[in-house]
Chain A
Amino acid sequence: MNSKQAYKIIDAGWAKKRTGYRIQFQRKVDGEMVTDYFPDLDEGPWLSEVAIWRMAWRLAESKQSDPPDVNHGDLINVTVVDHEDNPVKYYATTQFEVFNQVSL
Chain B
Amino acid sequence: MEGLAARIEQMENTMTTYGQEMVIAFAVIVLGLILIKWINQGLKKTFIKLPISPARGATVRNVLCVLMFAVLVTFAAIELGIAARPVMRLLTILTLAAIGMIMVFRPLIPTLPFKVGNTIKAGDLLGKVEATTILNTRLRTFDGTTVFVPNRIILNDVIVNYHFTPTRKFYLKINILYDQDLMKAKQILDTIMVEDPRVHPTPRPVVHVMSLNKGYIELSARGWSDNLKRFVITRELLEKTKLRFDQEGITLAMPQMQVHYTSKTTPQFDTEG
Also in contact, A11 and B201, with CB within 8 A (given A18-B195, A49-B236): yes
Query: Which residues of the partner chain B approach A49 to less than 8 Å between Cβ atoms?
Result: 196, 236, 240
Indicate whether A20 sits within 8 Å of B197 (C-beta atoms), given known contacts A15-B190, A48-B236, A50-B236.
yes
Interface of B is mostly: helix
**Proximity string of chain B (236-262) to chain A, C-beta cutoff 8 Å, 1 when within and 0 when not:** 100110011001000000000000000
Q: Give complex CA distance A7, B201 in Å.
A: 11
Whether B243 pairs with A91 at a CB distance below 8 angstroms is yes
Chain B residues with CB under 8 Å of A47's CB are 197-198
Bound form: Cα–Cα A20–B197 in Å: 7
Q: Which residue of chain A lies nearest to B190 when distances are taken between CB atoms in the complex? A: A15
Across-interface contacts of B198 in A (CB, < 8 A): 47-48
In whole angstroms, how far apart are the Cα atoms of A19 and B194 in the complex? 11
Question: Which chain A residues lie closer than 8 Å to B239 at the CB level?
Answer: 50
Interface 0/1 of B4-42, CB less than 8 Å to A = 000000000000000000000000000000000000000
Could you tell me the distance between the alpha carbons of A11 and B202 in the complex, rounded to whole angstroms?
A: 12
* Complex interface: chain A residues within 8 A of B196 (CB): 17-18, 49
The reply to whether the CB of B191 lies closer than 8 angstroms to some CB of chain A is: yes
A93 within 8 A of B: yes
State whether the Cβ of B103 lies closer than 8 Å to any Cβ in chain A: no
Q: A93 near B247 (CB under 8 angstroms)?
A: yes
| CB–CB B232/A48 < 8 A | yes
The complex places the Cα of A35 from the Cα of B100 at a distance, in Å, of 65
Q: Which residue of B lies closest to A50 (CB)?
A: B236
Instruction: Give Cα A51 to B204, complex, Å.
Output: 24
Size of interface on B: residues with Cβ below 8 Å to A: 17
The answer to whether B197 and A16 touch across the interface, beta carbons within 8 angstroms, is: no
Q: How far is the CB of A54 from chain B (nearest CB, A)?
A: 10
Residue of B nearest to A83 (CB): B197
Q: How far is the CA of A14 from the CA of B195 in the complex (A)?
A: 10
A62 contact set on B, CB distance < 8 A = none
Q: Does A92 contact B (CB under 8 A)?
A: yes
30 interchain pairs (CB within 8 A)? A7-B204, A11-B201, A15-B190, A15-B191, A15-B194, A15-B195, A17-B194, A17-B195, A17-B196, A17-B197, A17-B199, A18-B195, A18-B196, A18-B197, A19-B197, A20-B197, A48-B198, A48-B232, A49-B196, A49-B236, A49-B240, A50-B236, A50-B239, A50-B240, A51-B236, A91-B240, A91-B244, A93-B247, A94-B244, A94-B247
Question: Which 10 pairs, one residue from A and one from B, show the smallest C-beta to C-beta distance?
Answer: A50-B236, A15-B194, A15-B191, A47-B197, A92-B243, A15-B195, A91-B240, A94-B247, A47-B198, A18-B197
7 further A-B contacts with Cβ under 8 Å, apart from A17-B197, A50-B239, A92-B243, are: A14-B194, A15-B191, A18-B195, A18-B197, A19-B197, A47-B198, A91-B243
